[in-house]
Structure formats: C-alpha cells, structure tokens
C-alpha cells in the first residue's frame, strides 16, 4: 500500500484476522501466524468489516456506497447506494 493513506483498521469478531482499508484498496491478514490472505487495489476503502473468519466483508468505498464482497470468488454480490453518510458503529 505504498503511497496510500490508511483509513480504517479492524479485527474480526474472534481476532483471528485483521482488515486494513486505505485510499488504494484493502488488505486482510491472519493474525497467528501473521500473513496476508487477501488484497484488493480497487479504490478508496473508508470502512471495512469482516464476518468472523468467513470470506464475506462489508466495504464502504465512499460515504454512500456499501459493498458486500465474497473474497473467495472476488465479486460483489451486493452493492448499496444510500442517501445518508455511512459511519462505523461503536
């Protein structure tokens, strides 16, 4: 992710994976042992969340575009565009 801006870092629910969103895409890592398991250079990712250790991730690519992506098959099964800003839940 050289030359990119870090936007978001999060663990999945059981802390076995780490997801990193940047201005140039996202990366997913196993935490033990630490290794990269997926990367995408498809544009600005402002928020990323994983569903446990599955291949499903929720990605916010802009403040109003939510993508649910299956990283095993590399396609976007669901794309949402909304009229309000999407922000992380605390």
Segment 13-52, tens digit of pLDDT:
999 999 999 999 999 999 999 999 999 998 899 999 999 9
74, two tokens: 């590399």
What percent of the chain lies above the pLDDT cut of 90? 53
In the sheet that holds 75-81, the strands lie side by side as 47-50, 56-62, 65-70, 75-81
Of residues 62 and 55, the one with the higher pLDDT is 55
- Give the closest residue to 49 by CA, choosing from 7, 82, 20: 20
Report the distance separating Cα 4 and Cα 16, nearest Å: 25
What percent of the chain lies above the pLDDT cut of 70? 82
Report the distance separating Cα 57 and Cα 63, nearest Å: 17
Domain layout of the chain by residue ranges: 6-81
User: Hey, which CATH number is domain 6-81, 1.10.287, 2.40.10, 3.30.70, 3.40.50?
Assistant: 2.40.10
Residue 76 CA to chain centroid, in angstroms? Answer: 12
Of residues 52 and 83, the one with the higher pLDDT is 52
Q: How many helices (H) and strands (E) does the chain have?
A: 0, 8
Residue 77 pLDDT more than 80? no
pTM recorded for the entire structure: 0.80
Cis status of the peptide bond prior to 33, with omega within 30 of 0: yes
């Amino acid at each position: 992710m050289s030359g990119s801006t870090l936007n978001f870092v999060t663990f999945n629910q059981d802390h076995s994976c780490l997801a990193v969103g940047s201005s140039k895409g996202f990366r997913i890592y196993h935490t033990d042992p630490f290794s990269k398991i997926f990367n995408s250079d498809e544009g600005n990712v402002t928020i990323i969340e994983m569903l446990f250790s599955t291949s499903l991730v929720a990605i916010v690519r802009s403040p109003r575009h939510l993508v649910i992506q299956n990283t095993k098959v590399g396609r976007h099964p669901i794309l949402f565009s909304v009229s309000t800003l999407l922000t992380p839940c605390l």
